[in-house]
Amino acid sequence: MKQNLTMSFLRSEMPYEKRIAILPEDLKSVKHCEQLYFESGYGKDFLIEDACYETYGCHIVSKEEALQKDILCDTKIGNASYLNSIGDNKIITGWIHAGADKALTNTLINHKFTCYAWENFYKDHRHLFWKNNRIAGAGGVINALQYTGYLPDGLKAGIIGRGDSAAGAFSMLSKLGVIIRQYNRKQEALFVEELPNMDIVVMAIRWDTLRTDHLITSIARKSMKKTAIIIDISDDANGAIEQSRSTLLNHPIYYLDDIMIYSVGNVPNIFYKSATASISEVMCQYIDYLVEGNDDPVLSNSVIIKDGVLLDEHILKQQHR
């Protein structure tokens, strides 16, 4: 009989990251709570006592003990500092985003990890964390506009993208009285042509890292209004926006060619409680599959590395492996 695996849940080390993977009330649907280990203080940002997890038969342990378990779950596990120090053959799950980070990919390969990447959790062609993505769009807009010094009512915005983060941004901007034009990926040239008319520019596309060009170049920025702001929801460093970089929530703004840029890597944390609720309702469906070591289409399709073997074709191409 196959033995069930142990699974730990860790608080993220990423600065200003408060989202967690599972809330106590969602453990009602989990069969193997006795195999789950939570880092002490896991829910403290939500005023959730450790005892709330113990009520369901889960264990509360130190971070050091949590890192010894078979499966590690951390919302931003790709940013974790401990990946080189936890031994080999671990299973990890969370947002990994290894494609743009060759050193991280090498660490995962060298330690023979199996990696279930949340960015690849899809079912019926829809990202399962779509609510989190909508929160990113809405939260990014709300947070960024506070730095402009202007009430947004009557301003003109351009959104490029048709996904969930774009939908979140569109919904929030419309409620704020902003005049919006939305563009799809086939309208890149039109988008750039109309940049000079925009007060608010929302980037809600994941830039193809195999591309060597940029959508908003330094030349394009010089055509924009000096009072404009670019809100990069996707946070693609030097991707769609030439020379762009990632920031943190404590200092989310910088300038390129005198244009204000907002680009935060974990922007859903603005509404971390809403984001966590949406994450938890997804993760509770897959914990038992992971603990039992059973196959599931969502999980199997999210694997980027298995036992140290890189499987993700896009990362293979991106990193020229």
What is the chain's mean pLDDT, rounded?
96
Q: Which CATH class is domain 132-270?
A: alpha beta
Report domain extents, the chain.
Answer: 7-120+286-318, 132-270
Residues 6+ apart with CB under 8 A from 270: 135, 139, 140, 142, 143, 249
* Fold match between domain 7-120+286-318 and domain 132-270: yes
Mean pLDDT of 25-40: 98
Sheet holding 59-61, edge to edge: 59-61, 36-39, 7-9, 71-73, 91-94, 114-117, 303-306, 309-310
Question: Predicted confidence band at 305 (pLDDT cuts at 50, 70, 90)?
Answer: very high
Question: Predicted confidence band at 184 (pLDDT cuts at 50, 70, 90)?
Answer: very high
pLDDT at residue 83, as a whole number: 97
Range 7-120+286-318 classified under CATH 3.40.640.10: no
Question: Predicted confidence band at 1 (pLDDT cuts at 50, 70, 90)?
Answer: low
d(CA 232, CA 229) in angstroms, rounded, equals 10
pLDDT at residue 208, as a whole number: 84
